[in-house]
Amino acid sequence: MSRWFAALPLVALAALAVLFSAYALHHDPHVVPEALVGKTMPDLTLASLDDGKPVRLHDALKQGPVLVNFFASWCGPCQLEQPALLSLKAQGVRVIGINYEDVAPRGSPEYAQAFLAKLGDPYLSRLVDPDGRAGIEFGITGVPETFVVAQDGKILAKYTNLNEADAKPLARRVLTGR
């Protein structure tokens, strides 16, 4: 009887391994959760990266639809996404940048400023999310992630890792608010 109890943890571990393996075989890693698509953007007030003053995110919607982009200076894919964001800005799209968890030891507000100076600054407004709470409110799974937000505050779409091929159709979508 004591041998059975000794083997019980190994049996439980083997059962968990089978369960996780079965999940991994049937899980599409390219699926991006879109929990907020179709819902209203969270009403957040964040500090400006430039001067630390509080900025209400919803105030940007007074002038029309926007893209809300989460980025970080330590994020390699964010660097690759920057040309697409600059292209969107050139097409008249208003982009709000939220600097996500850019804190020591892997980043800082100064690193974020240097990132934008080096790669170009596509943002109408640069806000900071040092503790990731805004990211949680938006339901992001990592950076970079971008949300299309209509003037009424409704989130129309979510994108991960934008590229320049995405820029023209995305600009059309943002500018028409659909």
As a whole number, mean pLDDT of residues 65-69 equals 96
The residue-averaged pLDDT of 115-125 equals 97
Percent of the chain with pLDDT over 70: 88
**What are the tens digits of pLDDT across the range 68-83?**
999 999 999 999 999 9
Sign of the alpha-carbon dihedral angle for 155, 159, 163, 165: negative
**Full DSSP string of 6-26:** HHHHHHHHHHHHHHHHHHHHT
Per-residue pLDDT at 31 exceeds 50: no
Helix (H, G, I), strand (E, B), or coil: what is residue 27? coil
CATH architecture of 33-176: 3-Layer(aba) Sandwich (3.40)
End-to-end CA distance of the chain: 66
Q: Residue 86: beta bridge partners?
A: none
Instruction: For the full predicted model, state whether its pTM sits above 0.75.
Output: yes
The string of DSSP codes covering 105-126 is: TT--HHHHHHHHHHH----SEE
Contact 128, 101 (CB under 8 A): no
